[in-house]
Structure 1
Amino acid sequence: MHILFLTDNFPPETNAPASRTFEHACEWVKVGHRVTVITCAPNFPKGQIFDGYRNRFWQQEEMAGIRVIRVWSYVTGNEGFVLRTLDFISFMLSGFLAALFVRKPDVIIGTSPQFFTAVAAWAASAVKRKPFVFELRDIWPESIRAVGAMKNRRILGLLEKLEVFLYSRASAVISVTHSFKRNLMARGIDGDKIFVVTNGVDSRRFHPLSKDPTLSQKLGIENCFVAGYIGTHGMAHALDTLLDAAAILMNDPASANIRLLLLGDGAERERLKARAKQLGLRNVIFCASVTKEEVVRYWSVLDLAIIHLRRSDLFTTVIPSKLFECMGMGIPIILGVEGESAEIVRQAGAGITIEPENAKQLADQIRILDKEPCSLQQMSSAGVASAKGFDRVALAQSMLNFIHKVVK
């Protein structure tokens, strides 16, 4: 079977969509299928082309047996809705044109979060008369409304009509959460063609590790209790809550050994750094994004992982992919997200849940867990055990089985 996959994120980018697509495609190639990925020059999250790449109309490489075609797109950082939309639309057009020159695919998959990539996949499937599969990673444009990035109701309404059109035209929808499936069914989409393949963890890389002593020394956190957030610093993540919690902890002499580490890039990072400086937060450490290979070292130095999103009904339906990486590495979790992801943490016993955007509750729980090493060890062991149910290899095979059914 020849799988044509359109995505605007792919390694060497390290965000969740890039990792999921790459790891799934690797498994499909291993069992004998052909995979062609159409993507753009790597530039996420800063909007800067990675070293060794150029923003050309067509360039081709092979990665782990995957044929990767990179096409031109309008490259920008996360600098507002209009520029980001130009980025999305440009890749939609160039990705569609590139797909026309890919010979004999059996199925064409387009992935979100934003669905312009899925538009390109649907259009190519219509021309080539092949099944179109929509991989649904985010309810977009509802997520735009949730973070207040755009408030024009007319435009949002048009985008929602396009969204429903894509769901209805897809031969199948592969959703990353059960909540997304329920959302679509409530809007009239046939539940029989919606299949759930959650995010997962590559257990070969994300497994329990001892603290990296060299990195701990470099960061000045030896003998400290470290709670950390690793990931995108965006509007959806409400990371001011972490800074407010840090301020509470800094004013408590009993919490002098606690440090908060924030690693990643995103639209809010520079503002957050400036605010931390303004507040005089000596217990907060900012680290820039690192490679996929390096990130496990930073996970290893954490005593606690913080996963947080803005308080919103929409975000009760998401499952942050870093949740599974934390579980796989045995890092206890403080989860500031309600809904399906909170249920996973509670059932696994891998951490505790707090109310989103509640800085006092976050500070209190960090302070409590600092004094409870036995509880931390129990959460760590429970997380590792539960992560086995979200192994990426098994999930890739599950998705492949469903694609087979669609093709047949």
Structure 2
Amino acid sequence: DLEKFSPGDDAWFRRRYGLGDCFVCIYAGTIGMAAGLEVVIGAAVQVKAAGRKDIRFVLAGDGADLERMRAAVERCNLDNVVITGRLAKEEVIRALSACNACLVHLKRTELFRAVIPSKIYEAAAMARPIILGVKGKAAELVEGHEAGICIEPENPRQLAEAVIRLADEPELARNLGRNGRERLAVKFDYNRLAEDYLQILSGVLRDRALASLS
């Protein structure tokens, strides 16, 4: 929905979670086993070891793995990971608008090769570059529209490298985000899909009406 999800810059969210002017990569969604968010912990460790104090990871959401992720952040002493807990839908939109890149990630399994997470469309609508850790159809979609960087699922090194690259190449980040909005999100906008469906339905009804008269 391009009306609900539209590009912006939400200072409130950054102030609330102490993000300052950092480059922020967000995962917004269910924090469950399928998401494989250990990859964020591993990437955050590597980013911190590289001395990149200008980069933050945000995990926004709730789920069965929430407390385990919080424990991992504390155990690894990661001051570059923020976990918000459950957010209202309106707050999720504000969170996306406050961040610089969106992570879409699922565990590496054949089952997920046919899955296209809705998070892809939300990130694209917000004109945010996507870091995609999902193989198969989702990767084809993001790569085909040049809307983000695809990484191997459950690969912390590649995630860290992708985030650092986008932080260091703002023009690349802008271009990927713009491609997502203009090429991907517009193509799959709910309103446009509804109009296309109505046109098809109208055509079918018209053909049936003409056939009944002949």
**Residue of structure 1 equivalent to 2:149:** 352
In the alignment, structure 1 residue 292 sits paired with structure 2 residue 98: no
How much has 1:220 moved relative to structure 2?
0.7
How much has 1:294 moved relative to structure 2?
2.1
Alpha-carbon distance between aligned partners in 2 of 1:277 and 1:371, rounded to the nearest angstrom: 27
Alpha-carbon distance between aligned partners in 1 of 2:71 and 2:170, rounded to the nearest angstrom: 33
**Residue of structure 1 equivalent to 2:187:** 389
> Could you say if the C-alpha distance between residues 239 and 397 of structure 1 is closer, same or farther in structure 2, counting changes exceeding 3 Å?
same
> Letter of the aligned partner of 2:2 in structure 1?
S
In the alignment, structure 1 residue 235 sits paired with structure 2 residue 44: no
Is the partner of 1:229 in helix, strand or coil? strand
**Among 153, 163, 177, the residue aligned to 1:380:** 177
Deviations 1:75-111, CA, capped at 9 Å, x for gaps: xxxxxxxxxxxxxxxxxxxxxxxxxxxxxxxxxxxxx
> Letter of the aligned partner of 1:274 in structure 2?
A
**Among 264, 272, 279, the residue aligned to 2:69:** 272
What TM-score comes out, normalization by structure 1 length?
Answer: 0.48
> Letter of the aligned partner of 2:127 in structure 1?
G
How much has 1:275 moved relative to structure 2?
1.3
How much has 1:305 moved relative to structure 2?
0.5
How much has 1:208 moved relative to structure 2?
1.0
**Among 310, 314, 335, the residue aligned to 2:107:** 310
Contact 2:26 2:102 in 1 (8 A): yes
How much has 1:401 moved relative to structure 2?
7.2
> Letter of the aligned partner of 2:87 in structure 1?
V
In the alignment, structure 1 residue 203 sits paired with structure 2 residue 14: no
Alpha-carbon distance between aligned partners in 2 of 1:322 and 1:395, rounded to the nearest angstrom: 18
**Residue of structure 1 equivalent to 2:134:** 337
How much has 1:402 moved relative to structure 2?
7.7
> Letter of the aligned partner of 1:222 in structure 2?
G
* Unaligned segments of structure 2, at least 5 residues: 209-214
Q: Which has the higher contact order (CA 8 A, sep 6+)?
A: 2
Deviations 1:367-402, CA, capped at 9 Å, x for gaps: 111110110111111111111100112323555678
Deviations 1:124-174, CA, capped at 9 Å, x for gaps: xxxxxxxxxxxxxxxxxxxxxxxxxxxxxxxxxxxxxxxxxxxxxxxxxxx
> Letter of the aligned partner of 1:310 in structure 2?
K
Contact 2:6 2:126 in 1 (8 A): yes
**Among 23, 46, 57, the residue aligned to 1:260:** 57
Is the partner of 2:186 in helix, strand or coil? helix
Aligned residues: 203
Alpha-carbon distance between aligned partners in 2 of 1:322 and 1:230, rounded to the nearest angstrom: 8
How much has 1:315 moved relative to structure 2?
0.5
**Among 28, 34, 48, the residue aligned to 1:250:** 48
Alpha-carbon distance between aligned partners in 1 of 2:123 and 2:11, rounded to the nearest angstrom: 19
> Letter of the aligned partner of 1:227 in structure 2?
C
- Bigger Cα Rg: 1
Matches within 5 A, 1:1-150: none
> Letter of the aligned partner of 2:110 in structure 1?
D
Deviations 1:206-254, CA, capped at 9 Å, x for gaps: 1111x2112211211111110110000111110001111101111111x
Instruction: Answer 1 or 2: which has greater helix percent.
Output: 2
* Unaligned segments of structure 1, at least 5 residues: 1-201
> Letter of the aligned partner of 2:135 in structure 1?
E
Is the partner of 1:227 in helix, strand or coil? strand
Is the partner of 1:334 in helix, strand or coil? strand
Backbone CA RMSD of aligned residues = 1.7
What TM-score comes out, normalization by structure 2 length?
Answer: 0.90
Is the partner of 1:368 in helix, strand or coil? helix
**How high is the sequence identity, in percent, across the aligned residues?**
39
